[in-house]
Amino acid sequence: MNLLEDLLSLYNKSIKDFPRKSLIPESTLRLLNKKEFNRWTINQINDVAEFLEEDKIYIIKLLESIECKNRTEGKVGDKVSLNFFNLENRRYIGSKLKLIKWIRSLIETHTEGKSFFDVFAGTGIVAQEMMSHYERIIINDFLYSNNVIYHGFFDSNDIDICKMQNISDRFNDTNSNFLDENYFSNNYGGKFFSNNDAKKIGWIRDELDINKTLSCKEKNFLLTSLLYSIDKVANTVGHYDAYRKNIDIPNRFEFKLIQPIDTKSKSIDIYRCDANQLVSNINTDIVFLDPPYNSRQYSRFYHLLENVTKWEKPKLSGVAMKPPEENMSLYCKVDAPHQFDSLVKSLNAKYIVTTYNNTYNSKSSSSKNKITHSEILTSLNSVGTTKIFESDHKFFNAGKTDLKGHKEFVFITEVNREAKA
């Protein structure tokens, strides 16, 4: 066993790279290298995590995974097999990943409080970024796949990573050539994935339902890992409204685990509710609103991930193999201004932070914003005083939208309790 060396090798480092002033002498490091992980002290783990500039919880899970693979295979395996998906390793329309540092700085400068409510959470990136700043985080989204993903990342601190790694290894070691055709391969094979990859994905999804030894947390963890593994190799341009045609799709699916977020010191509430119905029941300091901007329905853009999550195996139709319509947001329809106004007036918060862009002149009608800035301001100013901030931002588009002059706007409203009443 060379546990420490195996860990350091993932970072292209060795024991000799530890600084001379390290709290752990080199002789102790070499002894530590031969010890089982359960014999390491907390201080030793902290020092190693500090040296690698990583979160302590991440290093613990990585060491557990390495030890598990050493025990079951006699070796660590390559670096790829030990990598984890992070929350941001996902393609998603409207993701705030590139804007998150700017948004956070605005929120920290112009608001104050101990609780944060992300009403239209999407990828969960904003909630993750604000995690260190607030004691309580509330996360909501109406997509089934997003809800499972939140549970996978934000509610998996006590997962047995060794058990998960063993299951992952079994999935990857199974030869797709010996698997039967299934619901997933019959519908998505040769379109979004190679047929062999589609067979394995469908088989894995069935296995998650068949395995009755899995706790709810473990199933959410593995299902989230499957969703991220699927999205990594899908033959798309970032969503599932269409797939790329006339290309040879290679076999490249690999089941990889996610890296849960350390939330042990936080209060985390996760919902899958209609935003307008939920907000009146939540009291919080800061509310973050990032509603759909245009008529493109997220439930249709990510129908494949929704189908995998629910696994009810409905009949699919159309070129993109979509299930019957459901979860159609009113924010993507003509009633969007009224929905937003009703939402704002139902909030119980000290501050309202709203993001929206200026895509009003798109050549594609489906890409045009549904709520004008004037309508947003009218609603927000009816409950308080609003400041506006803007930033240049290029976003994903289908090729018809002119990105010249495109900006992202942040509206920060300090709620006037008397005006709201």
Q: Encode pLDDT of 182-207 as tens digits.
A: 999 999 999 999 999 999 999 999 99
Same domain as 222, residue 244:
yes
Burial class (CB in 10 A: 0-12, 13-18, 19+), 73: exposed
Residue 113 is part of a domain; what is its CATH number?
Answer: 3.40.50.150
More confident residue, 57 or 390: 390
Q: Per-residue pLDDT averaged across 1-22, rounded?
A: 77
Tokens 């060491």 sit at which residue?
Answer: 63
Residue 87 lies in a domain: no
Instruction: Report the distance separating Cα 340 and Cα 73, nearest Å.
Output: 55
Q: What is the pLDDT at residue 10?
A: 78
Q: What pTM, to 2 d.p., does this model score?
A: 0.80
Instruction: Report the distance separating Cα 93 and Cα 285, nearest Å.
Output: 28
Residue 90 lies in a domain: no
Same domain as 110, residue 209:
no
Instruction: Report the distance separating Cα 272 and Cα 148, nearest Å.
Output: 9
As a dihedral over the C-alpha atoms of residue 49, residue 53, residue 54, residue 56, rounded to 10 degrees, the angle is 30
Helix axes 56-73, 161-173, angle to 10 degrees: 50
More confident residue, 294 or 390: 390
Instruction: Report the distance separating Cα 206 and Cα 88, nearest Å.
Output: 26
More confident residue, 151 or 421: 151
Examine the fold and report which residue of 306, 328, 350 is the final residue of a domain before the chain moves on.
328
Band of residue 361 on the pLDDT scale cut at 50, 70, 90: low
Instruction: Report the distance separating Cα 42 and Cα 24, nearest Å.
Output: 12
Same domain as 129, residue 268:
yes
Band of residue 398 on the pLDDT scale cut at 50, 70, 90: very low
Q: Encode pLDDT of 106-130 as tens digits.
A: 999 999 999 999 999 999 999 999 9
- Closest by CA to 288, choosing from 164, 124, 155, 159, is 124
Band of residue 307 on the pLDDT scale cut at 50, 70, 90: very high
Q: Encode pLDDT of 212-270 as tens digits.
A: 999 999 999 999 999 999 999 999 988 999 999 988 999 999 999 998 998 888 999 99
Q: Encode pLDDT of 22-80 as tens digits.
A: 667 778 888 887 888 777 888 888 888 888 888 777 788 778 777 776 655 543 333 33
Same domain as 311, residue 368:
no
Same domain as 316, residue 172:
yes
How crowded is residue 260: how many other Cβ atoms within 10 Å of its Cβ?
24
* Domain enclosing residue 140, as ranges: 97-144+262-295+333-420
Instruction: Report the distance separating Cα 413 and Cα 421, nearest Å.
Output: 16
Q: Is the pLDDT of residue 399 over 80?
A: no
- Closest by CA to 289, choosing from 116, 144, 152, 136, is 116
Residue 91 lies in a domain: no
Residue 149 lies in a domain: no
Same domain as 353, residue 322:
no
Same domain as 289, residue 396:
yes
Q: Is the pLDDT of residue 283 over 80?
A: yes
Q: What is the pLDDT at residue 22?
A: 61
Q: Is the pLDDT of residue 300 over 50?
A: yes
Bridging pattern class, strands 136-140 and 351-357: unpaired
Examine the fold and report which residue of 82, 107, 122 is the final residue of a domain before the chain moves on.
82
270, containing H or E segment: strand 267-271
Same domain as 229, residue 367:
no
Handedness of CA 376, 379, 381, 385 (dihedral sign): negative
Q: Per-residue pLDDT averaged across 308-329, rounded?
A: 95
Q: What is the pLDDT at residue 70?
A: 66
Q: What is the pLDDT at residue 79?
A: 38
Residue 89 lies in a domain: no
Q: What is the pLDDT at residue 26?
A: 78
Residue 176 lies in a domain: yes
Q: What is the pLDDT at residue 74?
A: 40
Q: What is the pLDDT at residue 17?
A: 80
Q: What is the pLDDT at residue 11?
A: 79
Residues of the chain by 3-state class (helix, strand, coil), percent to 5 = 45, 10, 40
Q: Is the pLDDT of residue 402 over 70?
A: no
Band of residue 393 on the pLDDT scale cut at 50, 70, 90: low
Same domain as 354, residue 277:
yes
Q: What is the pLDDT at residue 81?
A: 43
Q: Is the pLDDT of residue 411 over 70?
A: yes
Instruction: Report the distance separating Cα 176 and Cα 183, nearest Å.
Output: 15
Which tokens in the block code for residue 221?
């963890």
DSSP code string of 156-209: -TT--HHHHHHHHHHHHHS-GGGSPP-HHHHHHBTTTB-HHHHHHHHHHHHHHH
Q: What is the pLDDT at residue 421?
A: 58
* The total number of structural domains that make up the chain: 3
Burial class (CB in 10 A: 0-12, 13-18, 19+), 312: exposed
Same domain as 322, residue 286:
no
139, containing H or E segment: strand 136-140
**pLDDT, the chain, mean:** 87
Same domain as 235, residue 323:
yes
Band of residue 419 on the pLDDT scale cut at 50, 70, 90: low
With a CB cutoff of 8 Å and minimum separation 6, the contacts of 419 are 382, 383, 384
Same domain as 207, residue 165:
yes
Q: What is the pLDDT at residue 403?
A: 56
Residue 33 lies in a domain: yes
CA 397, chain centre distance (Å):
21
- Closest by CA to 322, choosing from 385, 411, 264, 241, is 241
Instruction: Yes or no: say if 288 and 116 are a contact pair by the CB < 8 Å rule.
Output: yes
As a dihedral over the C-alpha atoms of residue 299, residue 302, residue 306, residue 307, rounded to 10 degrees, the angle is 110
